[in-house]
Amino acid sequence: MRAFVFPGQGSQKVGMGAELAAASAAAREVFEEVDEALSQPLSGIMRDGPESALTLTENAQPAIMANAIATLRVLEREFGVSLADKGDCVAGHSLGEYTSLCAIGAFSLADTALLLKLRGQAMQAAVPVGQGAMCALLGADLDAAQKLAEAAAEGQVCEVANDNDPTQVVLSGHAAAIERAVAMVKDFGIKRGVPLPVSAPFHCSLMQPAADAMAAALAETPPGSFALPLYANVTAAAVTDPREEQRLLVEQVTGRVRWRESVLAMRAAGVEQFVELGGKVLGPMIGRIDKEAEAISVVTMADLEALAKEIG
């Protein structure tokens, strides 16, 4: 069995998608359609920067999605490899769940871009800049991270935002609580705490205003039927019902990204190969979660050609 997986925030970089756009009309069409949907030259920011504009949450989220869908479209159009035929399920990390839904036909490309633009804006607006923060705990398992979060909270919000792999857990919450957590890592047997360069505290209860905004947006633009099952971030379980997924996308804004558990659940269901489209972030994580799993990260035309030869 094979899963196609899609990266989340942090995988953006200036120049993303430029090689695909130069080589393939299918990729160019994706970038043009997203630009048109957003009434914004997002593809220009992706190609040329500045980096400060690309890393803005409201730009990074649709940009990462557009790059991954462009990679998928090239695979399908140029190499004749259909995700629905060659895949058994999909999953995405945080915003990558929206990319997954676009990939399996539950959202149109334009609607996905608009939803992610709004999601980025709503997440940024939920907490004033400087009041929230996130940190990565390296050499931490979930149990140690939860104990540290509880100790550092001191009446503020300090919660596990991402359970990425057996060696990396991310905390999110009030800036002062995250500072305390970073300072206390050694007391909990954790190797390092690294503050993350993010503009808002994603995936914690402080994001409730953004969850409310997404509930309203998804009521107007609900997901349609799926070509393949999707493993949802907040449950780490397969979903096939669009109404259930609509609810889970709202929960996802404040909820934990259960990536480690999602990969283990897909493995338990029989997935042997994971194909990451549009990034090189999830592949290494999957390797740390299960050394027996095969993980391929596909970004360039050469990567796509190699993948098409293998699975086509």
pLDDT in tens, the chain (312 residues): 999 999 998 889 999 999 999 999 999 999 999 999 999 999 999 999 999 899 889 999 999 999 999 999 999 999 999 999 999 999 999 999 999 999 999 999 999 999 999 999 999 999 998 899 999 999 999 999 999 999 999 999 999 999 999 999 999 999 999 999 999 999 999 999 999 988 889 999 999 999 999 999 999 999 999 999 999 999 999 999 999 999 999 999 999 999 999 999 999 999 999 999 999 999 999 999 999 999 999 999 999 999 999 997
* Residue 3 CB partners (closer than 8 Å, separation 6+): 87, 88, 89, 90, 91, 231, 266, 271, 273, 274, 275
The pLDDT score that the predictor gives to residue 197 is: 83
Q: What is the pTM of this model?
A: 0.97
The CATH fold of domain 132-198: Alpha-Beta Plaits (3.30.70)
**CA distance to 144, 166, 265, per residue, from 172 (Å):** 15, 18, 25
Tell me which amino acid residue 242 is: P
Residue intervals in the chain for CATH 3.30.70.250: 132-198
How is residue 251 written in tokens?
């929960």
Give the C-alpha separation, 190 to 140, whole Å: 5
Chain-centre distance of CA 203, in angstroms?
Answer: 12
For domain 2-126+206-311, the CATH class is alpha beta
Shortest CA distance to 70 belongs to which of 310, 302, 300, 312?
300
Q: Which residues are catalytic?
A: 94, 203
Cis status, amide bond into 50, omega within 30 of 0: yes
Half-sphere exposure of 123 (CA within 13 A, CB side): 30
Q: Which residues lie below 8 Å from residue 292, measured CB to CB, with a gap of 6+?
A: none
Contacts of 143-146 with C-beta under 8 Å, sequence gap 24+, read: 144/169, 144/188, 144/189, 144/190, 145/169, 145/171, 145/190
Residue 128 CB neighbours (<10 A): 9
Query: Which residue intervals of the chain bear CATH 3.40.366.10?
Result: 2-126+206-311
Q: Cα separations (Å) of 39 from 23, 106, 114, 118?
A: 24, 23, 10, 13
Q: Which residues contact 251 (CB under 8 A, 6 or more apart)?
A: 211, 234
* Residue 80 to residues 30, 85, 122, 312, Cα–Cα distance (Å): 17, 10, 38, 7
